[in-house]
Structure 1
């Protein structure tokens, strides 16, 4: 994968964020997109090899659209400043997310503001066995890589159906259950970048499995 070419394309796109420029450079865009998809396909194969529960996700299925949704966010530019993709993408579960962009590169996973039904399932799992999630979050390697849960909007009051003295009340107040780690452009351009992605996937796996079991059992 020629990530240097990917960054060059995105930088040019951000300086000319309009449909006319994209149409004139459609061949370059397709070249970068297809290269990224092939890289995702290779990663998909490698992750399936190391994780027996992995949900096969070909690059074309995992890659996200580069267009912003202007219907709901008309203030955004026409095109995103990154290529993004979700792997291990079983229907209804939290996937493993990869973002390579000029503004930020990251690896993330979990559930971003899940719907009420799935959020209740996660809270019920914490109520039943929150100690296991705490143990995962407090693993030294996990804390070093991700810090903790992704900071997002939280409840200020006790969630409905739970007691104010609940031992895991602060976890229950979360509306997003995800983790993420930033990666530098230097790391992306390094020859062992795919190895780093696989390592982060493995470090994140217990957390993602906990959530996915909670919402599918």
Structure 2
């Protein structure tokens, strides 16, 4: 995958964000999209080798549309400024997300503002065994890779059904349970980029598995 070419394309798209420009450069876009899918397919196979419970997700199933949804976000530009994809994408679980773009690039996973049923399941898992999640979050290599949970909106008090004195109140008040590893452009252009993606995937795996057990068991 020629990520330099991908960044060049996104830079020009960002400067000419219109259907007219895309129509004139659609061959370029389609070539990059197919290359990105091929790269995802290779990554998909490798992740299946390092994780025995990996849910195979071919690149054409994992890749996201580059078009913004203007029906719900009419003020956004026509096209996104990044290529994104989700792997290990089992139904009703949090996937492993890859985003390569101009505004930000990252590797992420977990649940971003899940629906009330999913959020309740995660909170019940924390109520039952929040110590396990805290052990995962406080592991030095995990903190070095991700820092803390993604900062998002949270409750001021304990959620309904949980005590204000709960020992894991700090976690229970969250509405988002996700982590993110930022990527610099220089990181992506390195020859060992794929190896770094795999390392981050493995570091994130206990966190994602904890959440996915919570919402599926």
Structure 2-normalised TM-score? Answer: 0.99
Q: Specify the alignment match of 2:188 in structure 1.
A: 188
Runs of 4+ in 1 over 3 A off after TM superposition: none
Alpha-carbon separation, structure 2, partners of 1:94 and 1:178: 9
Alpha-carbon separation, structure 1, partners of 2:103 and 2:127: 38
Query: What is the CA distance between 1:57 and its match in structure 2?
Result: 0.2
Q: Specify the alignment match of 1:126 in structure 2.
A: 126
Indicate the SS of the match to 1:131: helix
Alpha-carbon separation, structure 2, partners of 1:83 and 1:65: 8
The alignment covers a number of residue pairs equal to: 217
Q: Specify the alignment match of 1:51 in structure 2.
A: 51
> What are the equivalent positions in structure 2 for 1:152-171 lying under 5 Å apart?
152-171=152-171
Q: Specify the alignment match of 2:37 in structure 1.
A: 37
Query: What is the CA distance between 1:150 and its match in structure 2?
Result: 0.4
Q: Deviation per CA, 1:41-93, whole angstroms, max 9, x where unpaired?
A: 00000000110000000000000000001111111000000000000000100
Q: Specify the alignment match of 1:108 in structure 2.
A: 108
1:203 matches 2:208: no
Alpha-carbon separation, structure 1, partners of 2:108 and 2:5: 23
Q: Specify the alignment match of 1:138 in structure 2.
A: 138
Indicate the SS of the match to 2:126: helix
Q: Specify the alignment match of 1:173 in structure 2.
A: 173
Structure 1-normalised TM-score? Answer: 0.99
Query: What is the CA distance between 1:215 and its match in structure 2?
Result: 0.3
Q: Specify the alignment match of 1:20 in structure 2.
A: 20
Indicate the SS of the match to 1:99: strand
Alpha-carbon separation, structure 1, partners of 2:70 and 2:175: 25
Alpha-carbon separation, structure 1, partners of 2:158 and 2:193: 42
Alpha-carbon separation, structure 2, partners of 1:121 and 1:138: 22
Indicate the SS of the match to 2:92: coil
**Which 5+ residue runs of structure 1 have no aligned equivalent?**
none
Q: Specify the alignment match of 2:66 in structure 1.
A: 66
Query: What is the CA distance between 1:102 and its match in structure 2?
Result: 1.1
Query: What is the CA distance between 1:181 and its match in structure 2?
Result: 1.1
Query: What is the CA distance between 1:3 and its match in structure 2?
Result: 0.3
Indicate the SS of the match to 1:43: helix
Alpha-carbon separation, structure 2, partners of 1:154 and 1:74: 27
